[in-house]
Amino acid sequence: MSLAIGADERRTAHQLVRDTLRRAILTGQVAGGERLVQADLAQQMRVSTTPVREALRDLAAEGLIRLDAHRGAIVHSPTHAEVEEIYRLRQLLEPEIVELAIAHITEDDLTEAAAILDVADSEQDPVTWIDLNHRFHRVFTQAAKSPRLAAIVESLQDSATLYILVALTRGTRGFAEANAQHRRLLEAVRGGDAAAARSTILDHIHKTVDSQPDLPED
């Protein structure tokens, strides 16, 4: 494994390490089941162990790695059982949060969501697209004005990151289809149509599950 981080004055060492490792995991440069050793990563990336430790905590919260008390950080391997559980919970909660968002969303929120989609329409890098996807959905979770529900939904969305990437790169999911569903969701929210918003987000979630390739059961 060879990892290098580029210079970017706008990001801290912690952010640079996190983003470099995240991209390596999502693109398969670092395989599922592989150990990530803090000292080795720090030496390879020419940083101290502190930003590496902080980055690994972030990646664990996102579900991309597992922190084991004895083995350290282990890159997560996707399973069919896990994707089913994550998306079953998303199907229960996300229709609720988009309906709440309709009651509170502002014109600035709608403008922000539309701007994100304009960028996503021309984005072909899957990792960058996933970041835009997170930003788009967080417009609605934050607009819902329900902090506890938002925290749960955003945690589930973070946990789904690997499965979205798998659907885009190894499954049958395409950028254009996902972008079109986002547009429909935005228009339903803009129009105050709760039924259409709930239906669209459910369809959006179902499509990601249906687009998964064969995965291990557990």
pLDDT at 56 over 80: yes
- Which tens digit of pLDDT belongs to each residue from 72-86? 899 988 788 888 899
Predicted local confidence at residue 9, as pLDDT = 47
Q: Hey, where are the domains in the chain?
A: 13-75, 80-210
Q: What is the model's pTM?
A: 0.82
For the domain spanning 80-210, the CATH number is 1.20.120.530
pLDDT digits (tens, 9 = 90+) for 102-153: 999 999 999 999 999 999 999 999 889 999 999 999 999 999 999 999 999 9
According to the model, what pLDDT value does residue 215 have?
63
pLDDT value of position 77: 85
Q: Note the CATH number of domain 13-75.
A: 1.10.10.10
Question: Is residue 63 within 8 Å of residue 32, measured between CB atoms?
Answer: no
